[in-house]
Amino acid sequence: MSDLNVISGDIIKAAIEVHKELGPGLLESVYRKCLAKVLRDMGYEVDEEIYLPLTFRGSVVEENAYRIDLLVNKSVIVEVKSVGELKPLFSKQTGTYLKLMDLQLGLLINFNVSLLKDGIKRIVNNFEQ
């Protein structure tokens, strides 16, 4: 988990940089692209808009049912929001993505806040490896 803590700390630092430069009120896609750029500039591998299939009873029902905003170093999911408030559904959604990807840590970041620290939520998928 220590590597994940370093990565998540750097993701938060990068998000703060983006938020300081752009401010609140823009589209999620703007924040996602800018956050991905800052993270890449920091040396991280960043995959954007990863689509996952919906599997039900052993069959793929839909190929592109879910979309993960960012995956950093193949280990931390980042869901980017620009909303009035973070709803519990967003945390559940991120938790589902973690389970589907068999990953442990996700960050839910809402850029539509005055202070970014008020828009960050850490989601942990408790599982044994």
CB-based contact 120:15 (threshold 8 Å): yes
Tell me, what's the pLDDT at 57? 94
Structure tokens at 123: 């989601």
Closest CA to 66 of 76, 55, 75: 55
CA dist 55 and 118 (Å) reads 35
Closest CA to 94 of 16, 86, 37, 3: 86
Tell me, what's the pLDDT at 127? 52
* Residue position matching structure tokens 């990953």: 103
DSSP annotation string for 100-111: HHT-SEEEEEE-
Tell me, what's the pLDDT at 129? 38
Residues 76-113 pLDDT 10s:
999 999 999 999 999 999 999 999 999 999 999 999 99
Q: Which residues of the chain have pLDDT under 70?
A: 1, 127-129
Structure tokens at 70: 């960012």
Please report the domains of the chain, with CATH numbers, ordered by start residue. Answer: 2-124 (3.40.1350)
Tell me, what's the pLDDT at 128? 43
Q: How many residues does the chain have?
A: 129
